[in-house]
Amino acid sequence: MEEAQSLSEPSPKQLDEPTDAQPVDTEGQLCWQKSFTCHSVGIKVKKYQRSLQSLSKEA
């Protein structure tokens, strides 16, 4: 519960230095997007491998 409060109410340091907070935020967003795309690609690869295995079993 404490984390949600800190997110909705930014600390005075963040308000005083928006320039400092911005690059960190965008960097975190990029990292999240990268990990998300890697995760989705990994799922696709797993599905592809499963379909290959099922095909080899049938053959």
- The enclosing H or E element of 2 equals helix 2-8
DSSP class of residue 41 equals H
CA distances from 14 to 4, 22, 29 (A): 16, 9, 17
29-54 pLDDT, tens digit per residue, is 777 777 777 778 888 888 999 998 88
pTM for the whole structure: 0.34
19-32 pLDDT, tens digit per residue, is 554 555 666 677 77
